[in-house]
Structure formats: structure tokens, C-alpha cells
Amino acid sequence: QKEVEQDPGPLSVPEGAIVSLNCTYSNSAFQYFMWYRQYSRKGPELLMYTYSSGNKEDGRFTAQVDKSSKYISLFIRDSQPSDSATYLCAMGAGANNLFFGTGTRLTVIP
């Protein structure tokens, strides 16, 4: 079983839709959780960072962590064509290495 599982999509939504991206994980030691956004032919860039359980909001983006279910989500409200990218979840414990999901490719159609 992989440490981190992520549905690869692809996911296609109309502009203005609410997008939900999800990852599950198996290691209960994970304490910090991140979402990276990767545009085509670019390196991943950090989008959201969350420590432990709970929600974190930044503009149109909300990251949610449910440690009891080992499940994390990223919600995008009022999605825009510029949100079209691959979204990777990542997580880790302490100061050790990160474990990445395989990424979900999102396309927002104007």
C-alpha cells in the first residue's frame, strides 16, 4: 500500500464551479500536510500548508485535514481557467522527508 493515495483524475469542471481534491494516507504519524500546484512544464509550487487537523482558508482555497479518517481535501471556490494545473498533496512527520501523492490534473473550462 502506498503511503499516500490520490485520484489522478483528470477532472474537468466549468468555470465558477467548486472543486474538491482529495488524498488519503496510511501513516498516522503524519502531522503536516501540504498542497502543491504544478502548471504544465513547471516545478510544483506550494499552495497551502496545514499542521495537524482542521481547516485553513486562503482566498478561494480551503485545505481540510481529518486525521481520524486519514483524509485531506483541497477545495477551490469559484474556479478559474487559471486554476487549471496538476495538484499534488504532500505530507510528512517531524523534520523527515515528504511523501507525495501522484497528483490530480484539473482543467477549468471557460
Partner 1 sequence: DADVTQTPRNRITKTGKRIMLECSQTKGHDRMYWYRQDPGLGLRLIYYSFDVKDINKGEISDGYSVSRQAQAKFSLSLESAIPNQTALYFCATSDGGQGTDTQYFGPGTRLTVL
Which residues form the interface with partner 1 (CB under 8 A)? Answer: 6, 8, 31-32, 34, 36, 41-46, 49, 51, 88, 90, 92, 94-98, 100-103
As measured in angstroms, the least distance from the Cβ of 19 to partner 1 is 20
The shares of helix, strand and coil residues in the chain, as percent rounded to the nearest 5, are 5, 55, 40
Cell numbers at 38, concatenated: 504544478
As measured in angstroms, the least distance from the Cβ of 52 to partner 1 is 11
Question: Partners of 23 in the beta sheet?
Answer: 6, 72
What is the rounded CA–CA span in Å between residue 40 and residue 46? 15
Cβ distance to partner 1 smaller for residue 18 or 29: 29
Cβ distance to partner 1 smaller for residue 83 or 101: 101
